Amino acid sequence: MNPFYRCVLVVTVLVLAGFATLRTQHTSAALANDASLPFDNPQNSVVGGFDFSNLDRSANACQDFNQFANGGWMAKNPIHGAYSVWGRFTQLDEQNINVLHDILDGLLKKKTPAPGNEQKIADFYGSCMDEQKIEAEGLKPLEPELQRISQVSDLLSLEDELANLHAHGIPAVFGFGASQDFKDSTQIIAQLVQGGLGLPDRDYYTSDDAKSKATRDEYVKHVARTFQLMGDAPDKAAAEASTVMKIETKLAENSSTRIQRRNPEANYHPMTKIMLLEMTPDFDWGRYFRNIGMPQIAKVNVGQPDFFKAADKILKDTPIDDWKVYLRWHVVNAASNTLSSKFVEESFNFNGKYLQGTTEMLPRWKRCVASTDRALGEALGQLYVAKTFTPQAKERARAMVANLIAALKDDLTTLSWMSDETRKKAIAKLEAYNRKIGYPDKWRDYEALQIRRGAYYNNFVSAGEFEFKRNLGKIGKPVDKTEWGMSPPTVNAYYNPQFNEIVFPAGILQPPFYDPKADDAINYGGIGAVIGHEMTHGFDDSGARFDANGNLVMWWTPDDYKKFTERTNCVVQQFDSFEVEPGLHQKGQLVVGESVADLGGLTVAYAAYQKSLQGKPRPKIINGFTPEQRFFLGWAQVWAQNIRPEAARLRNATDPHPLAKFRVNGPLSNMPQFAAAYACKAGDLMVRPPEKRCQIW
């Protein structure tokens, strides 16, 4: 996925190993006012799309709205053993996984699945579920790759093996792929980015705090245990693990931070082959491009030049035998979850238990469902959509998106701090948004993907090769703006600045984000704010640097951009003050894009809701809550969540999305509309003084 995609959330469900990988979510639809909804009736728990038993009425809404709105839910929903987080996103993801499970089981039971996608889906899922075969083969599926590594003898053969691993989807040392040219969005060019680490982020290698040091120690032990599972003696395995850590630490020390990688200008360095060779004189790029089947590449964007300058020296100066150890590790690390149970368990014990606090692995079928979705997402997505997403649902979503875009346009039209010159370009960008709802208009072609009912690892590698070739095949061709970056069942949504598009997969267009039976206020606070969130990503600290055509260009006047930056800096400072745990704060510069989008999305959705009431009877009070109060309950319930301390620390280090409780309280504390709805007063924690209030839209 494009590194500058902007999403609503990140919920983790790396189902293959029972530990997490970040995902995002939202919902939408047109709303119908229902004056017949019951109100002021304590006997009704679920009314108008909100379960009032989820409230914690002992909490003060003006002091901690997240606890007030979600405290009851959190008390009733402890984290399941196989998860590091349990929240409303997780629940909806579970619901979708169950639907996919039914589809996949049905295909397995078919005597003769239809040739093509159905057969490939059944064979891939079937190979993943064949535990007996996987256990019997042990490490055997990796033997051809390990044999290739054993034959590496010099720098050139090392470079050859790096190209081979990259073709399998393993970004050892660095990553290579295709991307739109930041400053010419009509062109697809090659892109090089830093990589090669086994821990979640470069800061895990460079930070000196006690927890980071302990994590590095545990990682080395994990690597050593894995080498022992491969048959190495304990002393040799310990030495090999030390070698891996030494190489990865050197790469990490020369890597950009996540905050630095959020700046598109800082990651745009187009180069010719000659410039590449001058930058890294010891790496034969011509040979590398031939090895990956792209000898004609003439232009490459180098995301982090300083990393590649350092990597060139590290490649040359590190002994070849050490590199062979490093490569063996990255091959088995990438493959662990496709191998026998001892490898799966070792991977889970570190990545799941230690890093995220989970206590048990997900059942195999859930891991295999997720793996099949990753490998054949749009093929499986077609079957999912046919079963779950009606044309009527798609039209309701389109209507809601159009409504929210109109509300943001109204806001831009009257925004006091923006000049007319910038305003015209901002409105033009908004009106140019491509809106994708539910599923692609053109489905991906999987004909070239080779899947067989054989070793699961082989299908895993085949899927990686297919995706690598599909991605590189775009270079030099016209940009295909019909492409999607997520599969239809995904509980997520995103904004892509280079396509200038907002995308809402079918998987998120469901309760609690959008419920066709719910009160309008709840839906506007839920899916409405999610839609608004993605829309305002086009004007967050990163998205604002791309114009209506998806080009990285400064379209703001200098004075307007200065005012905009001052306003986003206000958000940075607020989130810097939020404590994840004593002494550990959110990183405002990391989460500013998502936090700006939350605040903007809520502001726009609230305005759209108020506009929808014009000319209609005033909605009734429901269970004691006014429509304005229910709007904010709709937002809060989306973020109901329990999270393990380990997972909170991991997300704080790596995730550009704030923790859920801060996504509730943070933006609402800046909104006078919230304070008015709940009669909060100056001095309450949910009411920021005017001079400290952040306001952008």
* E runs forming strands in 170-255: 174-181, 184-194
Which of 481, 482, 464 lies closest to 472, judged by CA?
A: 464
Half-sphere exposure of 159 (CA within 13 A, CB side): 19
Q: Which residues contact 139 (CB under 8 A, 6 or more apart)?
A: 229, 230, 231, 332, 339, 340, 343
Which of 314, 320, 326, 246 lies closest to 282, judged by CA?
A: 314
602 in Cβ contact with 635 (< 8 Å) = yes
How crowded is residue 413: how many other Cβ atoms within 10 Å of its Cβ? 11
Q: Which residues contact 564 (CB under 8 A, 6 or more apart)?
A: 544, 556, 696
Helix axes 364-375, 88-109, angle to 10 degrees: 90
Which residue, chain included where needed, has tokens 């490093």?
A: 326
447 is known as an active-site residue: no
How crowded is residue 70: how many other Cβ atoms within 10 Å of its Cβ? 29
Strands 174-181, 50-51: parallel, antiparallel or unpaired by DSSP?
A: unpaired
508 in Cβ contact with 95 (< 8 Å) = no
Q: Taking the CA atoms of 97, 76, 649 and 2 in sequence, report the sign of the dihedral they define.
A: positive
Strands 579-581, 584-585: parallel, antiparallel or unpaired by DSSP?
A: antiparallel
Which residue, chain included where needed, has tokens 């269970």?
A: 623
Catalytic residue among 93, 534, 541, 655: 534
512 cis-preceded (ω within 30 degrees of 0) = yes
d(Cα 271, Cα 286) in Å, to the nearest integer?
14
Q: For residue 13, give the H/E element and its range.
A: strand 11-14
- Single-letter code of the amino acid located at 505: P
Which residue, chain included where needed, has tokens 């086994």?
A: 198
547 is known as an active-site residue: no
Per DSSP, the residues of 307-321 read HHHHHHHHHHHS-HH
d(Cα 495, Cα 509) in Å, to the nearest integer?
16
Catalytic residue among 160, 598, 628, 655: 598
For residues 143-175, one letter each, b for 16 or more C-beta atoms within 10 angstroms of the residue's C-beta and e for the rest, the string is eebeebbeebeebeebbbbbbbbbbbbbbbbbb
The residues assigned a catalytic role are 534, 598
